[in-house]
Structures are given as C-alpha cells and as structure tokens.
Amino acid sequence: MSGQTRTHSMRQQTGVLAGSEFFLDVLLLGAVFFLVRAALLEELFPFGPAVIIAVGARRRLLWPAVVVAAVSAWLAGLPQVYSRLLIFLFLGLACTLYPSLNQRGPLTRATLAPVAITLVRGLGLTLWQPSFYGWVQVIFEALLAWGLSLGLLETATARRQEERLLGGGLFLLGLLLGLQGWQVSGLSIQGIISRYILLLAALAGGAGTGAAAGAAVGFLPSLSALITPSLAGLMAFTGLVAGSLKNLGKPGVISGFLLAHLVLANYFLGSDGVQAALRESGLAVLFLVATPPLLVYYFREFLAVPVAAQQAPADTSPRDNLKVALKSLAQNLKFHGFNESPLETVRQVARAACRGCPAGKVCWELEGEQMLNTLQELLHRGSQGPLTLAALPEWLASRCNRGRELLAALTTRAGKGQPQPLEDGLTNWLASIFDNLAVMVENRGIKKENSAGSGTGQPALKISVGMAATPRHRAEVTGDAFVAATLEPGRQLLILGDGMGAGREAADASGTALELLQDLLAAGFSPELALRTVNMVLLLRTTRENFTTIDLAMVNCHNGQTEFYKLGACPSFIQGKDGVKILRSHSLPVGILEDLQVEALKEELQEGDLLVMVSDGVLEAHRDLNEKEKWVSKALQRAGDARPQEIADRLLKQARALAGGNPPDDMTVVVARVEKAASA
C-alpha cells in the first residue's frame, strides 16, 4: 500500500514539474517574440540573435525560438527583414549541425551572434547597397549582439550579484523596448510596466534602488528613438521619494510615488501627457497592490548584497579542517529534504533580512561563523514548526532589531523542504554522529594543548567487580553478556546485556551490542549517542526482530558520580549506609524502534557501596511477583564485607535454588564495590 502511495506521489510531482517546465518554456518564447522587436536608436536590433543563442541553449527550444523570432520580425516589419530572417536561420542551423557548441563556454557561443550578423548583413550590403555608414551600422550591431549574448548566457550561471543584476537588467530592458508602441485603450503598456518595476524596486530595495530603476526606465524612450530623455529625471525622483518611504510598506511607497508624480508630471510631460501618465501610474499602483508578498521577498533577495562566506585562515591545521568538514556533513544531513544546501539557504535569508541593519557589521564580519552556525540550527528547528523569538540565543536577541523578520524568513524557507519520514531516523542519527565527531576532534585538540603541565590528578576511588553467570536449563551458552572496562583514568564502565531469546544467537546479539558500545564510548562518544548508534546498527543488521537489553553504569572514580542508562534492563541495586536503593527505568531495549528514548539516572556512590546488576532470569527465579526484588535486597543486607565475587556467587546460587535448580532463563549477576584507591 505504501509503495502505491509513493508511486502516486512521484507521478504527481512529475506532473507538476512537467507543467512548470512547459509554462517556463512558453514564457521564454514569449520573451523571444518581444526581444526581437526591441530597437536601439530606431535602426539597431541586436536583441534577436542574442536571445536565440541564450534560449537555444535548451535544445528543445532552439527551433521554436527561431520560428517565433521570424514571425515577430515579419509582423513588426523590421528593416532588412529578409536578412534578419536569414540570420535567425543561420543561428538555428549552426546550433543544430554543431551541437558541441552548447558544450563550449559562453564566450564561444556568444561569438555566433556577431559572426551571423556580419556574414549575412555584410554580404547583403556588399551586393546591393555598399556604403561606409552601412558597414559601421553592421559592425556596431554585431558588437552589441555579442555583448548581449554573453550577458544573457552568463546570467544563467552567475553567482555574483553584479552579474545577476546586469543580465537581468539587459533582459528586462529588451522586453520593455520590444513593447514600444503597444497600447491598450490609449495607454502605453511599456509605461505601465515601467512604473510597476519602479514601484517594485522601491518597495524591495529602498530609495537608492528606486531612483536607479526610475532613471533606467525613464531613459528607455530615448534608447529606441532620437528624443530628449526628459522622462528620466521625473522617474528617478519619483523612485527616490517612493523608496524613502519603504519602511511604511506598500501604502508608503504608493503615496510617495503618486506625490512625486503629481508634483513633477505637469512640468516634464506638459498638460497633454499628464492625464495618460497618471492613468498608467494608477494601473501600476493596482498591480503593486495585487503583488503577493512572496514575489516582493524574492525580488528583494535578487537585489540584496550577498553575505560573504567565512574564509578559513590559511594556517588552519588538519584537525580544524576535519572539524569543519564533519560539521558540514552533519548540517547537510539534517536538511536532506531541501533542494539546496542549508548554508546557501541561510545566506539568502540573511541577504534579505539583514541588509541595511546597523548591527550587520558586528554580526557578519566579527561573528560571521557563529551567525552561520546559529541560523543553520534555527533553520533545522524551523522545519519542525514555526520559530518564535524565544528561539533566538540571548547574545543575538539582545542586539537584533529584525528578529521577527529573520525567524519568519527561516520558517518560510524551512517549510519548503520535504523530508522523507522513512529516512528521518537514519539521517538524524548520521547527523548526530558527525556532530559528535566534530566535538571530539575539537576536544582532543584542546586536551592536547592543555596537557603540558596540567595533570588531572589520581582517582580517589576504585571499583572491584565480581560476576557469576549460568545459562538457562539445557542451554550450552548464556545469552547474557558483560563488560567491565576502564575508559580512561578515573572512568569505570560496567555494562550488562541480555540478548533476545537464548543460546548462541542471543549471545551473538548481546555480545555484538556490548562490544560496539564499549568501542564507541572508548572513542569519546557520549553515552546517549553511543546507545542510539548501537540501536541503529541492530535495526540495520537484519529485517527480523533482534533486540538487546542494556544496563550501563559509568562511574567517575574522582568523585563517585555515576550515570545509569537502563534500556529494557532489570532494576539495579545500590547497597549503601542507608540501606538498599533500587533503580528502575521503563525504556525499551535497543533494536526495536528508531526513535530510542535515552534517559540518564544519576547517583553518587561512596566508599563501601555495593552496586548489583542482574539479568531478568535472576529476578524471575522467584515465583512470587511481590518478592522478585525483595529477596535480592535482603540478600545484600546480609552481604557484609564479603568480596564482590563471593557476593555474586551467593546471589546466583540462591537464584538457582529459587528456580528449583533448572533456570528458566539465563542468569547473570554483576557485583561492584566502591573502594578507596591505593594511591589516595
């Protein structure tokens, strides 16, 4: 059933992608139609060859683009229309017969435009109307087409903001020039779109961006015809006033735009042009009101200054490089459902939210690495639910005036990721592994630097251990396993495991789990992560059920502080001066669920205390449910100062007797006594 659902979901996604791709192709061909008509100084038409080369990079759009360009040139009645049709045909044939051109760099592909123009128009000029001015015009148009082709091709792969702005500006310029002369009810479509672009730029970028956009669109009419660019001053001032009220949102930008337009329109345009200009401005205002906030957000991102990546110092050590690489692996695994890296997502959010912030210099130049790490962590949390101001760390919340906007942008971007639920457990576990490895590398470096002349001191306590075990009735080996090891001076590890079932299969499961757990803890893994790792390994080893109970105690021999982790294990017993204390936990064994709940129980052991760990066969030996734990407590109260091994043998002997000499399950008893260290 899940396979059918997943297949259906994939088909839906494929259909959506196909529909989006078709819509984009239609838009590109529509752009070709208008760009072919774009004229500079009424005589030069360099946009047509440039856009065919740029759009033709998608092979399926090459000949549709050639056909659309030819239809557009014919309908517009462009000068030398036949030579322009031959230019389009030449470009189509060149890209078709030499497909390797698409694998070349943008510079090589862009050179096709001036070559086609020079050959076709130059040949026609030589045969029918040879003139010096004609050759100057051909060469100038060829150079413009070469520059436009290069700019449009570079835009598709541009990473620098200047390249993106240049390419996007050239594309938009050609579209607006191609709309020259198009009208609806006496209103210029070019004028309406130009004013809308001005408003959008002012709202997204502020006064400077609004003024620049106003000057650009105001200068447009003088590019296509030999007229004085009087409109450029009006539009630049209008964009400046509108952008200065950006903080008031759309109402502020619209108010500033209309106010400046009313003041200067009569002076620049005269009484005849004021009414049409105001009607065009009114329609542009309506379009801005209907513009969704998401479009404004993306336009703001497009205009924003990129957040510089933090460069690693040239003298970084291999240990530091390894730490950075491990952290990067962990971050990318946390965002396995995202289409782009978390680092790039964070940079895009920061460009939009932090642009112009007075604290930006401190955040991104002095604390750039810390900011990137913090925002990536917030992005990960945002994929699990909306972020609130409480999610900001105190050091950032104390100086950030745009916390709400930053968190809202992170939540929005995080919501676009579609993690696969079946992979969450595995990827989160791997991310934790890499995070922990990075911390271990860093800690090892710190310890190595501080090791000279800074001893840690000798432990004040030591642990003496005794263990007794017996297999179930008629079994050759016990399925229980036990490990006692010193991880490092002053840390004593005790682990008791009970594999599912009995015999060699259970012994293999418990032995493997405990051996892996010991190796991970010795390597420096935290107990929580080590237990989660063992849990995941058991889940991945086999498709059938194969679990193991874990009873782990880690004793700090400097101060007696002990952490207990009990996953499906029986209660443990601590015999101290105040009597017997029983430690219980209700966690499941490892190897059952991906989402393993790990909770530490903390106790302080003192000199003379006894710690007893048993497998379930020992407690279940007593048939009375109410006496399963009491008989062990009573036996410990009679233990006195006997050695741990003697106590373990007594408890096991008593358990066998309670079971009638035929244990129904494997029995293991571990007894550890806390003693004063010889050197203390």
Asked whether the beta carbons of 100 and 115 are under 8 A apart, the reply is no
Q: Which two tokens stand for residue 674?
A: 């806390």
This prediction's pTM: 0.45
- Return the DSSP state at 306: P
Q: What percent of the chain has pLDDT over 90?
A: 12
pLDDT tens per residue across span 138-196? 887 888 888 777 777 766 555 455 666 676 777 777 777 777 777 777 777 777 888 88
- What is the pLDDT at residue 5? 42
How does strand 667-676 pair with strand 561-567?
unpaired
Asked if residue 277 is part of any domain, the answer here is: yes
Asked if residue 450 is part of any domain, the answer here is: no
- What is the pLDDT at residue 32? 81
- What is the pLDDT at residue 104? 64
Is residue 135 located within the same domain as residue 234?
Answer: no
Asked if residue 421 is part of any domain, the answer here is: no
Is residue 42 located within the same domain as residue 143?
Answer: yes
Which residues neighbour 159 within 8 Å (Cβ) at sequence distance 6 or greater? none
**pLDDT exceeds 90 at position 319:** no
Is residue 88 located within the same domain as residue 198?
Answer: no
**pLDDT exceeds 80 at position 639:** yes
- What is the pLDDT at residue 274? 64
Integer CA distances (angstroms), 525 to 325, 434, 437, in order: 18, 11, 8
Asked if residue 437 is part of any domain, the answer here is: no
Asked if residue 365 is part of any domain, the answer here is: yes
Which residues neighbour 592 within 8 Å (Cβ) at sequence distance 6 or greater? 545, 547
Q: How far apart are alpha carbons 631 and 653 in whole angstroms?
A: 13
Range scoring the smallest mean pLDDT among 256-270, 304-318, 362-376: 304-318
Is residue 169 located within the same domain as residue 190?
Answer: no
Asked whether the beta carbons of 535 and 512 are under 8 A apart, the reply is no
Q: How far apart are alpha carbons 152 and 167 in whole angstroms?
A: 5
Question: How many independent structural domains does the chain possess?
Answer: 4
Is residue 368 located within the same domain as residue 245?
Answer: no
Q: Average pLDDT of 53-79?
A: 79
- What is the pLDDT at residue 311? 41
Q: Which two tokens stand for residue 130?
A: 């040879």
Confidence of residue 541 (pLDDT cuts 50, 70, 90): low
Is residue 55 located within the same domain as residue 84?
Answer: yes
Q: How far apart are alpha carbons 53 and 48 in whole angstroms?
A: 9
Is residue 220 located within the same domain as residue 292?
Answer: yes
- What is the pLDDT at residue 421? 42
Task: Identify which of 607, 611, 581, 585 has the alpha carbon closest to the alpha carbon of residue 596.
Answer: 585
**Domain stops at, among 178, 199, 214:** 178
**pLDDT exceeds 60 at position 356:** yes
Is residue 616 located within the same domain as residue 598?
Answer: yes
pLDDT tens per residue across span 506-540? 787 788 888 888 888 887 778 888 888 888 777 77
**pLDDT exceeds 80 at position 467:** yes
Asked whether the beta carbons of 467 and 482 are under 8 A apart, the reply is yes
Asked whether the beta carbons of 514 and 495 are under 8 A apart, the reply is yes
Q: Average pLDDT of 490-501?
A: 87
Domain range spanning residue 564?
461-676
pLDDT tens per residue across span 214-251? 777 777 666 665 555 566 666 777 888 888 887 788 88
**pLDDT exceeds 90 at position 494:** yes
**pLDDT exceeds 70 at position 303:** no
Is residue 54 located within the same domain as residue 172?
Answer: yes
Asked if residue 432 is part of any domain, the answer here is: no
Is residue 76 located within the same domain as residue 173?
Answer: yes
- What is the pLDDT at residue 266? 60
Instruction: Output the average pLDDT for the chain.
Output: 75
Q: Average pLDDT of 374-391?
A: 74
Asked whether the beta carbons of 307 and 357 are under 8 A apart, the reply is no
- What is the pLDDT at residue 53? 81
**pLDDT exceeds 50 at position 315:** no
Question: Side chain identity at 367, as an amino acid letter?
Answer: E
Q: How far apart are alpha carbons 374 and 368 in whole angstroms?
A: 10
**Domain stops at, among 161, 178, 195:** 178
Q: How far apart are alpha carbons 415 and 420 in whole angstroms?
A: 13
- What is the pLDDT at residue 320? 62
pLDDT tens per residue across span 17-30? 455 567 777 777 87
- Range 223-230 contact pairs with CB under 8 angstroms and sequence separation of 24 or more: 223/40, 223/41, 223/173, 223/177, 224/38, 224/39, 224/40, 224/41, 224/42, 224/177, 224/180, 225/41, 225/42, 226/41, 226/42, 230/268
**pLDDT exceeds 50 at position 460:** yes
Is residue 350 located within the same domain as residue 488?
Answer: no
**pLDDT exceeds 60 at position 332:** no
Asked if residue 239 is part of any domain, the answer here is: yes
Asked if residue 640 is part of any domain, the answer here is: yes
The residue with tokens 């404004």 is: 296
**Domain stops at, among 415, 442, 471:** 415
Number of C-beta neighbours around residue 593 at 10 A: 13
Helix, strand or coil, per DSSP, at residue 517: helix
Which one of 325-339, 375-389, 474-488, 557-571 scores highest in mean pLDDT?
557-571
Is residue 626 located within the same domain as residue 669?
Answer: yes
Q: Which two tokens stand for residue 545?
A: 């059920």
